[in-house]
Amino acid sequence: MSEKILVIGANGQIGTELVMALRNIHGTDNVIASDIHAPAPGNNTGPFEHVNVMDKDNLRSLFEKYRPAQVYLLAAILSATGEKQPKLAWDLNMTGLIHVLDFAIEFKTAKVFWPSSIAVFGPHSPKENTPQFCTMDPNTVYGFSKLAGERWCEYYYVKYGVDVRSIRYPGLIGWKSAPGGGTTDYAVNIFHEALENGKYESFLSADTALPMMYMEDAIRATISLMDAPAYSLGIRSSYNLAGISFTPAQLADEIKKHLPDFEMSYSNHDPRQAIADSWPKSIDDSHAQQDWGWKIKYDLAAMTADMLANLEKVKG
């Protein structure tokens, strides 16, 4: 019987594209998508299981049924949404991870992937070219749940030998699914609004620089890390991953090269601005480059052109 791969939180922004990529590599029937919600009709193209990561018995049944060789745990409450429901965000983000790590031991899962985020950095972290190891004082529940999760991942690797791997994702931009309530969502919403209405009001200020990454690069990085030999990986908390750092104004200027009449405005006093101000402006991912050969493909111009081209096809 072929080895099975379980993706938990498969209907989210990352999961939607990761499941498709994994099925292209490993075969549709070998990649089990799971989520607390049913998949969208267009994404219901392979095995799917309902799962609540906070229900340990429910989750155990999936491990018993499939005995997965790899598990990707993507279920989470993101930054902006987490600030509205902080205790729920902490419970879901932590409980799901501990459950999966425990089952990885019990069912001898070969590899586990769990996503961290640039949200682990905080006001006293270096803002420019933020290094892998530095002061980390996150001030959002999403950020400190991710930082705690990193420590759990490394703990389970050192103490129990769980081959857990992780990436600190920057803001992610893709056209195949809707964003999930994060602080960097403007960089997805702007493309939809530019095509539909010719204008967009950004909830972040014009000069707020943040690390971003096109989803195709993020999926490629995730699979590359999981394919890397274990001996090459020197970090078991979470790898920094750099993308392309830009501001809302710079993104708007790039969009105007394709849509000259596009208009950009900026709102005031949005709570997401304070979150963004505490995050890095750019990331040093030299450890990922050295350990598993990471290299980015899409710059701002290539990403913008590809986003607009694909969304125009989708929107007709």
Rounded CA gap, 291 and 33, in Å? Answer: 29
Establish whether 160 is a catalytic residue: no
206, 248 in Cβ contact below 8 A? yes
DSSP code string of 292-315: H-------HHHHHHHHHHHHHHHH
Largest Cα span, the chain = 58
Match 């970090």 to its residue by tokens: 235
Strand 244-246 relative to strand 210-214: parallel, antiparallel, unpaired? antiparallel
Spot the catalytic one: 66, 72, 142, 156: 142
* C-alpha closest to that of 101 among 119, 113, 118, 90: 113
Rounded CA gap, 216 and 213, in Å? Answer: 8
* CA distance to 45, 48, 138, 272, per residue, from 131 (Å): 40, 39, 15, 24
Residues annotated as catalytic are 142
